[in-house]
Amino acid sequence: MNYTLHQLQIFLKIAELKSITKASEALYLTQPAVSIQLKKFQDQFSIPLTEIVGRQLYVTDFGHEIAEAAQTILEQVEQINYKSQAFQGQISGKLKISIVSTAKYLMPYFLSEFMQQNPAVDLIMNVTNKATVVDSLENNEVDFAMVSVIPDQIKLERVELMQNKLFLVGGKRYENDGRPSGKKVLTELPLIYREKGSATRAAMEEFISKNKLPTYKKFSLQSNEALKQAVISGIGYSIMPLIGIKNDLSNGDLQIIPYKGLPVKTNWNLVWRSAKKLSPVAQAYLDYVNSNKDRIINDTFDWFESY
């Protein structure tokens, strides 16, 4: 047999996506190039790796076994590359991080300089909802996570980064409604929520419950960005984290509506499992965060304290 690493990569991607078209897009290759390499790879086996039923590509049982072997081979090659870089004095390997969606406005600033200083580090960052972040921690799939509310079902270590503030906000409609009081907004006007499981929604519901406010719930949305655009458009109001709305406040698309007890204040935290043995890359990143977090916060988020 005379297959190449390139062919293994292509076949593994086809097996994952079950589509030559999607594999070509994911690998930034043309569809004919992927088809040619798949054929060359298949020609080295007497048993089919894939089959077409109707218009759908299916991976055979034998193909799945070959895909698993390809995954192992490619991971070993990756480790060889990392070891080679380590012998040259470079920090190398994968850094896996999972963050809640609102943290996307924050996390890049705690990563950019580290990644520039360590070009041999491969970053894998998943931006998702809180439930998925917690699952990734429980299943030991990531090195770190960034959350504003620490889950209590897992024993975690943490580095506290900066404060998270949530305000009641409205769009330009707030003016058209005659600048109603915060209480009227919360009790009579349509409120837009984040999806169930979101830390933003949990903070919003806790505040409303604590103040015994009867609310007019409009609907819920899956992301902070979608929620923000809905508020800007005038569909309703919401309680939102300050970190994601700075520019919208500056240009007047959003306005903070004063209300007693707001903002709700929590803290952003970088967390990891207490029992986890950190890789050299993860330990290097943790050392970087501990040494530089105050400088990053002061240099990048100095505007935060004015609200």
Note if the pTM is more than 0.75: no
DSSP element (H, E) containing 205: helix 199-210
Per the model's pLDDT, the better-predicted residue between 191 and 290 turns out to be 290
Residue 254 has pLDDT above 60, yes or no: yes
Distance CA 307, CA 141 (A): 36
pLDDT at 177: 66
CA distance 78 to 98: 22
More confident position, 215 or 167 = 167
Residue 209, beta-bridge partner list = none
d(CA 230, CA 228): 5
Task: Name the 3-class secondary structure at 230.
Answer: helix
Count of other CB atoms within 10 angstroms of residue 22: 16
pLDDT one-digit tens code per residue, 85-113: 555 666 778 899 999 988 999 999 999 99
Residue 252 has pLDDT above 60, yes or no: yes
Residue type (1 letter), 26: A
Note whether 121 and 95 are within 8 A (CB).
Answer: yes
Q: What is the pLDDT of residue 84?
A: 63
**Is the alpha carbon torsion for 100, 102, 107, 108 positive or negative?**
positive
Cα(95)–Cα(280) distance, integer angstroms: 10
> What span, in angstroms and rounded, lies between the C-alpha atoms of 43 and 47?
9
Query: How do residues 256-304 score in pLDDT, each as one tens digit?
Result: 999 888 999 989 999 999 998 888 889 999 999 999 999 999 999 999 8
